[in-house]
Structure 1
């Protein structure tokens, strides 16, 4: 879909990639395919657990959806991932009645406009939320080593950012990438969770991207010269 709606539609032959969470796997796949077009890659909280190709998908599922009852976020991930019939029922109830949930929240908060995060959450079907996530994260786990090798061989500028209090993906993920791609720049954001490196520091994140893009342009010029 990224190829169809962006790369092909606008005939891009030079672009930067920035991705968050499971989108990092998609971005690495694009970078591996368009090595000559991609100028830099910025990954925020990427899921990467080195494993044999045969065990990669199961290993990713076990690491990201451990069967725990605490904290609540991990309990929810466990139920939704391992008990699909329960997950489908929950998503069906939430999605089918999304207008009701939105109306109730507006009434309680006295706000006319709700955060896009809540709006998206109440409209997710099981297929769009969990099924797609499993296809990308667990299915992509078998391919991510190949993607990273392509990034290394093409000498693309890779920056990896993660909050030090990320409750979704452990910090070992970015260190695993550093071991795989020694040239990668690692940035740890203090007191940040899975989403806050972007949502809670929008101006700083924008400046980070500008710096990365300008740096990659200088690196490209030096390479040509």
Structure 2
């Protein structure tokens, strides 16, 4: 029986590998075709070519444009904020993604260049080949130090368009949803702040609790599940605050945003921490929101009373691996099985607020947030966790569904190895979504115990 079962498992893995290769090869070709089609539609409908992340990096740009720089595996974009220049982190996974078509193209171009160089060398032994790179030089301790940057034209075009359009109202693209829900923010008086749902006593509150949702979700993930199940004592003592992150739910979805970590954090500060004058607060975060929760805790170490993370997307990156690319391979392994747990959960929990959260975003917001937050912060999470371990004196609790196929349980255990005092609670028979949905009352009680313990400590 054991031998037969092992043989069947190996056969299933082989079939999965073969089918995955076929399916993703077709999708890679389709990706190239759709890229060309979308560019044509852009030109016909909007009278201009739109930059896309299929474009290859160029070595030079016009002197009037801002530049995207990449050095030693880290990518930054030079942007203008008021009268200041800022370096903003972006993930290289936006424009460097392994695919069959790109790999074959690169190999072919590389081979043609090698043959061309070999032919040129044989024709004239005195001819030398020189690679020209944009670089900057500075003198340090009597020696010249050269720093070379790779320049990506895609980000440059996007940023140039952003600067040219400053002061003018955003124009939705033909491919963006133009429904009332997705665009209500553009006509409201709160264009510069997130949508915030707050419940609690009108007078003096004991403490605040900030709820941060995950990827392709909204504040309804909390307000429709946990908020109704908190006790009367909690509702009369704590101010419960749930936000729609930038680009999701009823919050602004600017087309010119790159949805970086800095942009997300600034919007949370501008919409919650500053206007509510929060001094002491607890944080509850799910999935992608866990990354923002860690960043907030690092920035406000003396204000955070407790941190509760649900299914955190944390992967311990092996030495020698590029963090962003490693995490992208883990969360998107290019396999057709198992199906993303979120899809299975959505099919099982067909509720209005889930569908609203899933649909109420733009592809621009979802795409950039996925890459710049989950993949782009992979190299920073260890620093955040070390800072929280050493500088943030608060209770830390991590919850994870044992059947979570989107983010495995090892993510939470790896986080605990970085912060030994963190309590990891693995819940049986739950996945990425059902760890909250379906056990709302139990989870509400668990949170209340965490807050009570943190306050008394």
- TM-score, with normalisation over the residues of structure 2? 0.38
Correspondence for 1:18: 284
Per the alignment, residue 68 of structure 1 pairs with 335
Residues 301, 393 of structure 2: 8 Å contact kept = no
Q: Distance in 1 between matches of 2:360 and 2:307?
A: 30
Query: For 1:188, which of 409, 420, 426 is the aligned residue?
Result: 426
Cα distance in 1 between the residues matched to 2:426 and 2:401: 6
Displacement of 1:54 in angstroms is 6.7
**Aligned twin of 1:199:** 437
CA distance in 1, matches of 2:450, 2:340: 32
Residue 32 of structure 1: how far off its partner (Å)? 0.5
C-alpha distance in 1 between matches for 2:360 and 2:300: 33
Q: 1:55 aligns with which of 322, 329, 340?
A: 322
1:148 aligns with 2:385: yes
Total equivalences in the alignment: 182
Shift of the 207–131 alpha-carbon distance from structure 1 to 2, 3 Å rule, reads same
Q: Distance in 1 between matches of 2:378 and 2:275?
A: 28
Is contact 1:54–1:142 with CA below 8 Å preserved after alignment?
no
Specify which structure has the higher proportion of helix: 1
| Structure 2 residue 448 is the aligned partner of structure 1 residue 218 | no
Aligned residue among 292, 298, 311 for 1:45: 311
Q: What is the Cα deviation at residue 53 of structure 1?
A: 9.0
Structure 2: segments with no counterpart, 5+ residues: 1-266, 344-349
2:368 aligned to 131, 142, 159, which one?
131
Instruction: Measure the CA separation in 1 of the matches of 2:293 and 2:320.
Output: 20
- Name the structure with the higher strand share: 2
- Name the CA shift for 1:54/1:33 in 2 (closer, same or farther; >3 Å): farther
The CA RMSD measured in Å over matched residues stands at: 1.9
Structure 1, residues 62-118: CA drift from partner, whole Å, max 9, x if none?
1000010112328x9xxxxxxxxxxxxxxxxxxxxxxxxxxxxxxxxxxxx951111
- Structure 1 segments (4+ residues) deviating >6 Å: none
Q: For the residues of structure 1 that align with 2:409 and 2:370, how far apart are their CA atoms?
A: 20
Secondary structure of 1:140 counterpart: coil
1:71 and 1:123 map into 2 onto residues whose CA distance is 26
Query: TM-score scaled to structure 1, two decimals?
Result: 0.76
Tell me the residue number matched to 1:121.
358
Which one of 297, 312, 322 corresponds to residue 31 of structure 1?
297
Contact 2:338 2:405 in 1 (8 A): no
Kindly name which structure, 1 or 2, has the bigger radius of gyration based on alpha carbons.
2
